């Protein structure tokens, strides 16, 4: 019997749980006709966006598949590429489709209190979390069953397929969600003094759709990609390491991933909001997943007869996961000192709000960087080889199912609050959904921190795999060609991010003009006697997001190819060396600055410094307008960019070695 049957079983268990969670969610009551009508509008907009995005993905995918076909083992490479892409897209599509049905059910459950609403949202979110790891582990296990270790490089096709979908989902979804959100806020809150999710705001449905295509579909594709490419990188490193434990080292990363699934499944039992304490339930779940996974990984290590150093390397990935979670919460959480500092600065106007928000974001980078540095050092020292770094990355990403569950909880509760507002439900319901929405907003920030940290560790593992693939024993930074590559790599995330910020600005401006037009031309709209044209706002966000994602996609795909062909493998190695830390720190800065400015706005909206409609609130809304594309578009998209650049560098390594001009 193949040894991979065990990891296949773990992946199947994750999918079975995901199916149960979906059926359990769909079996709950939806509420009134008005609630269902609003939910269906959000669902239709989300589905329309993903379907139109799929057409663009197919074009890129076919072109790349044709190119890969002419490489060594091109047919197998294309199969792996297709499996990775399909698995990633299915994860995003299935998870989002359940999330847009869980929202209205969470609203209905809120009538019974916080605990019922929390449970509905967390079970709905778990569909995405466990589908991601299930598809990932099954896909890699099946491919390995038909590959020899000598031919394991084919797996990079699986990783690149996941990376391609992630880049589209993160970039397109990020542009969509923030164009709608910024457009809705700038007119609705600052000009018309409307509350969040006021049904008179023409952009309100587009905003709720954006929560799903950005924070649900985008995040799931992002973390699935990290999960997949980290496993692939660890396996590639294992295949190149000379060790008496060679065969065991090849299977060990998959066992660690399986341990993460089992640990996360058990941890779901701990996530119950007793006495209405939802945030404590979430943290208990994460901590339980870390502890249980750690115990299982220790058992696996002893069962395989591996030295304790390999287990220490796994812990070097598990512990940073919870540390980065807590660090991000400190800098971005509701009523944390940095958030209150930004809120206080809002009394001086939008300018001081933005200055303080950027300062908090910049300062928030140092602790996560130290954590990742420690993970790299400890994992390498514990094993005496770069294999340890790969295992640390696998350890961190083994928690993907529980982290994605918590992340998907965010857009579900956000939409639930919107449905409660638009359906005119009693204040008692809105009080529950507002509480969960505030918690979900915080968890979305903390899970982004985890995703960024995981991307950094997986990128380091991918760099090691790249160096092995091109026969690069070291990087000589005194070589001018290498230095050029480093500068290009450091520049890449800034240029990439600039296009995303510009795209959000352009699309948001169109959204603002559309909202103003509808307010001006639809008689009775502000009096609640006429309905806005929600579909028009959804279409503006969709069309402009899909148009704008093409250039960033090309930048990520074409840059490493040009550098590799023109300047050679050493320069491309330099590019990766410059790109990985620059992208990591820039992503942390943007995500945390945006998250802190968002919660500073919510802190004021809760009644501080004059509350909603005050000058401080208007200043905070402007600050949040900057923070939104930082935290939900540009910052998270860098995760996908660094892995696309890394995987395509490994994928085309033989061409760069054989045909580079310099």
* pLDDT tens-digit readout, 356-411: 999 999 999 999 999 999 999 999 999 988 999 999 999 999 999 999 999 889 88
DSSP string, 289-311: HHHHHHHHHHHHHHHTT--HHHH
Q: Identify the residue whose tokens are 């929405």.
A: 437
Give CA–CA dist 585/423, Å, rounded.
Answer: 42
Q: Which helix (H) or strand (E) holds 28?
A: none
Residues 6 or more apart in contact with residue 135 via CB below 8 angstroms: 11, 15, 87, 88, 90, 91, 224
- For the chain, the residue count is 662
Instruction: Name the token pair of 372.
Output: 């990742």
* pLDDT tens-digit readout, 22-53: 999 999 999 888 898 888 888 888 888 888 88
Q: DSSP alpha helices (H): ranges in 244-386?
A: 246-267, 278-303, 308-332, 337-345, 350-363, 366-383
Q: Is a pLDDT exceeding 80 seen at residue 227?
A: yes
Instruction: Name the token pair of 321.
Output: 């996961």
pTM of the entire structure? 0.92
pLDDT given for residue 1 in this prediction: 47
* pLDDT tens-digit readout, 104-127: 999 999 999 889 999 999 999 999
Determine the average pLDDT of the residues in 158-171: 89
Q: Is a pLDDT exceeding 60 seen at residue 150?
A: no
Q: Identify the residue whose tokens are 């093409």.
A: 550
Give CA–CA dist 637/494, Å, rounded.
Answer: 12
Are the CB atoms for 571 and 481 separated by under 8 Å? yes
Determine the average pLDDT of the residues in 464-468: 89
- The CB density around residue 86, as the number of other CB atoms within 10 Å, is 16
- Is the model more confident about 332 or about 193? 332
Are the CB atoms for 108 and 29 separated by under 8 Å? yes
Are the CB atoms for 122 and 279 separated by under 8 Å? no
70 by Cβ neighbours in 10 Å (0-12 / 13-18 / 19+) ranks as exposed
pLDDT given for residue 149 in this prediction: 59
Give CA–CA dist 90/220, Å, rounded.
Answer: 10
The domain tally of the chain equals 1
Q: Is a pLDDT exceeding 70 seen at residue 616?
A: yes
Q: Is a pLDDT exceeding 90 seen at residue 310?
A: yes
Give CA–CA dist 137/621, Å, rounded.
Answer: 42
pLDDT given for residue 529 in this prediction: 84
Give CA–CA dist 469/317, Å, rounded.
Answer: 24
Handedness of CA 511, 516, 517, 518 (dihedral sign): positive
- The CB density around residue 138, as the number of other CB atoms within 10 Å, is 21
Q: What is the rounded average pLDDT for all residues in the chain?
A: 89
Residues 6 or more apart in contact with residue 328 via CB below 8 angstroms: 364, 368, 445, 446, 448, 449, 450, 591, 592, 595
Q: Identify the residue whose tokens are 């969040």.
A: 196
Determine the average pLDDT of the residues in 326-335: 89
3-state secondary structure 411-472: HHHHHHHHHHHHCCCCHHHHHHHHHHHHHHHHHHHHHHHHHHHHHHHHHHHHHHHHHHHHCC
Q: Which helix (H) or strand (E) holds 72?
A: none
């Amino acid at each position: 019997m193949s040894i991979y049957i065990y990891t296949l079983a773990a992946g199947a268990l994750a999918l079975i749980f995901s199916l149960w969670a979906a059926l359990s969610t769909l079996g709950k009551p939806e509420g009134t006709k008005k609630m269902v009508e609003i939910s269906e509008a959000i669902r239709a907009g989300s589905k329309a966006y993903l379907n139109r995005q799929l057409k663009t993905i197919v074009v890129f995918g076919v072109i790349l598949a044709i190119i890969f076909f002419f490489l060594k083992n091109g047919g197998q490479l294309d199969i792996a590429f297709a499996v990775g892409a399909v698995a990633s897209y299915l994860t995003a599509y299935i998870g989002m489709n359940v999330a847009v049905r869980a929202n209205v059910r969470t609203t209905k459950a809120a009538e019974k209190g916080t605990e019922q609403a929390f449970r509905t949202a967390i079970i709905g979110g778990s569909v995405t979390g466990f589908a991601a790891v299930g598809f990932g582990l099954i896909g890699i296990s099946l491919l390995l069953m038909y590959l020899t270790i000598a031919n394991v490089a084919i797996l990079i096709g699986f990783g690149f397929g996941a990376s391609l979908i992630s880049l589209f989902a993160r970039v397109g979804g990020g542009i969509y969600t923030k164009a709608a959100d910024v457009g809705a806020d700038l007119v609705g809150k600052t000009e018309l003094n409307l509350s969040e999710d006021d049904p008179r705001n023409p952009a309100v449905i587009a905003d709720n759709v954006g929560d799903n295509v950005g924070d649900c579909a985008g995040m799931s594709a992002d973390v699935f990609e990290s999960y997949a490419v980290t496993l692939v990188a660890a396996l590639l490193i294992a295949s190149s390491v000379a060790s008496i434990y060679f065969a065991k080292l090849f299977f060990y990363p998959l066992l660690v991933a399986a341990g993460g699934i089992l640990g996360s499944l058990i941890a779901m039992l701990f996530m119950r909001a007793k006495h209405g304490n939802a945030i404590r339930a979430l943290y208990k779940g994460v901590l339980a997943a870390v502890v249980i996974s750690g115990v299982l990984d220790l058992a696996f290590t002893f069962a395989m007869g591996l030295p304790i150093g390999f287990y220490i390397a796994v812990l070097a990935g598990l512990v940073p996961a919870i540390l980065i979670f807590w660090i991000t919460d400190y800098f971005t959480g509701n009523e944390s000192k940095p958030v209150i500092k930004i809120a206080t600065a809002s009394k001086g106007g939008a300018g001081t709000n933005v200055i303080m928000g950027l300062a908090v974001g910049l300062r928030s980078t140092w602790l996560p960087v130290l954590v990742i540095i420690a993970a790299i050092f400890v994992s390498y020292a514990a094993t005496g080889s770069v294999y340890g770094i790969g295992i640390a990355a696998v350890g961190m990403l083994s928690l993907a199912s529980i982290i994605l569950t918590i992340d998907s909880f965010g857009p579900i509760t956000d939409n639930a609050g919107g449905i409660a507002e638009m359906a005119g439900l009693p204040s008692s319901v809105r009080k529950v959904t507002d509480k969960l929405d505030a918690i979900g907003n915080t968890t979305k920030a903390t899970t982004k921190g985890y995703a960024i940290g995981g991307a950094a560790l997986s990128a380091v593992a991918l760099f090691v795999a790249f160096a092995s693939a091109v026969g690069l024993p070291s990087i000589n930074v005194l070589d001018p060609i290498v230095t050029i590559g480093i500068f290009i790599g450091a520049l890449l995330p800034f240029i990439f991010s600039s296009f995303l910020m510009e795209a959000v600005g352009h699309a948001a401006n169109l959204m603002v003009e559309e909202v103003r037009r509808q307010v001006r031309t639809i008689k009775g709209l502000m009096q609640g006697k006429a309905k806005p044209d929600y579909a028009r706002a959804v279409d503006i966000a969709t069309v402009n997001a899909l148009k704008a994602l093409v250039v960033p996609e090309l930048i990520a795909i074409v840059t490493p190819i040009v550098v590799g062909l023109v300047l050679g493998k050493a320069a491309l190695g330099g590019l990766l060396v410059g790109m990985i830390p620059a992208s990591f720190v820039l992503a942390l800065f943007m995500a945390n600055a945006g998250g802190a400015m968002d919660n500073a706005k919510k802190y004021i909206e809760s009644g501080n410094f004059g509350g909603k409609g005050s000058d401080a609130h208007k200043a905070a809304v402007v600050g949040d307008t900057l923070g939104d594309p930082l935290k939900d578009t540009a910052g998270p998209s860098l995760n996908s960019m660094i892995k696309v650049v890394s995987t395509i560098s490994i994928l085309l390594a033989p061409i760069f070695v054989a045909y580079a001009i310099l």
